[in-house]
Amino acid sequence: MITEERFFEHFMDPVDGVLCLSATSDAAAIEREASPHGLRFPLLLDRATPLCEQVASSPFAPASSRYGPYCDNITGMNWELPDGRRVRVGERVVKSTTGYDLLRFLLASSSRYGRAMDYVLRLRPACDTSRVFCLRGDAACLRSALKSLLQSTWMHWLDSVDLVAGDSPFLRVAVHCPALEFEAYQDFLSAFSKKFSLALEPAAGPALDGCPDLVVKTTPEFVADTALSLAKHPGAKCVALCSCGVVHVFLPDSGAIGEIVRPIESALHAMGGHWQSRHVSPSPSPLEASWISTLRKEWNIS
């Protein structure tokens, strides 16, 4: 058990680029601490929703294509167990040797084993130019363009590449860069869109879609077809985080989740994928159930 004096205190470390603050903080609270130091936290799904709810909704955000999932950008936390005990997990540095990876386990556990009280966030340099572009055209052109873009060296520099699937699918590309470099990005996207017969236009706002009702983890090879297929469900909007092979599904009724995942569950498992939802408690495998039972006893969880 970690003693109380070793808990993470709220801090801002501009040298190491880490910030500790309440797990209920929103985007504005993060920016108040990070922006004066020229830093940002790029993995946001929504500006108003508390960070803990965003983490519970999905392990990924659009910028995961460049910065990795949430578990790679939260280095430590104060966690409250269901019986009220509090523990410190992880460190304030990006790399550490800590034995069993309890941090990632708890980050992915939603509220089954307690709740996060505070996070230590890994921040990134903030540039002065952020833009989002939409590339529109028919589905065949979008697929060809996406395949080419994912294999290009530009993927290391683009903040995100998403396929937004609905009534009229389109590619959404986010750019975050110094102003002096923006023209190079714009010229590339202009030439790229013409090559694949796509119309290039600025997006109305940032790539913030909110917390998904369903997350489907597949592979980059199948993510576009998966998103386009799932978007056929009445009222569904799907955003494929293409580099990660993840589809965020937004539904008018969360009760339809079972109807959506049953037809694809076997195929997902066969390729090593899975699905999760903040509205549905997962069913662990027999091996996982045995381990979880031991853990629940240790933590006095009824």
In a domain, 135, yes or no: yes
Q: Across the beta sheet with 274-276, what order do the strands follow?
A: 199-202, 129-136, 170-177, 160-165, 237-241, 246-250, 214-217, 274-276
- Sorted by sequence, the CB contacts under 8 Å of residue 121 that are 6+ apart come out as 18, 19, 20, 21, 30, 41, 73, 74, 75
Task: Verify that 180 and 112 share a domain, yes or no.
Answer: no
pLDDT, residue 1, reads 44
Q: Whole-prediction pTM value? A: 0.91
- Burial environment of residue 165 by CB neighbours within 10 A (0 to 12, 13 to 18, 19 or more): buried
Residue 288 lies in a domain: no
pLDDT given at position 3: 45
Q: Do residue 46 and residue 73 come from a single domain?
A: yes
Can you give the pLDDT at residue 2? 46
Considering its fold, how many domains does the chain have in total?
3
Determine how many CB atoms are found less than 10 A away from the CB of residue 186.
15
Residues 80 and 174 in one domain: no
Q: From 19, 60, 21, select the one nearest 43 (Cα to Cα).
A: 60
Which of 202, 224, 250 is at the close of a domain?
A: 202
Residue 87, domain CATH? 3.30.465.10
Task: Read off the tokens for 61.
Answer: 């955000």
Residue 233, phi-psi category: left (phi > 0), alpha (psi -120 to 50), beta (remainder): beta
Number of residues that this document lists for the chain: 302
Encoded amino acid at 172, one letter: R
- Answer whether residue 270 is part of any domain: yes
Of 169, 175, 181, 177, the closest CA to residue 145 belongs to: 169
CA 281 from centroid of its chain's CA atoms: 19
Are 226 and 247 within 8 A, CB to CB? yes
98 with 184, same domain? Answer: no
Identify whether 283 is part of a domain: no
Where do we find the tokens 């055209």?
Answer: 137
Position 289 in a domain: no
Report yes or no on 174 lying in a domain.
yes
Asked if residue 281 belongs to a domain, the reply is no
| Residues of the domain holding 244 | 214-276
Other CB atoms within 10 A of residue 289 CB? 10
Residues 51 and 109 in one domain: yes
pLDDT string in tens for the chain (302-residue length): 444 558 999 999 999 999 999 999 999 999 999 999 999 999 999 999 999 999 999 999 999 999 999 999 999 999 998 888 898 998 887 665 555 578 888 888 877 888 999 999 999 999 999 999 999 999 899 999 999 999 999 998 999 999 999 889 999 999 999 999 999 999 999 999 999 999 999 998 888 999 999 999 999 999 999 999 999 999 999 999 999 999 999 999 988 899 999 999 888 888 889 999 999 876 776 777 787 788 777 777 76
Question: Within this chain, do residues 246 and 150 fall inside the same structural domain, yes or no?
Answer: no
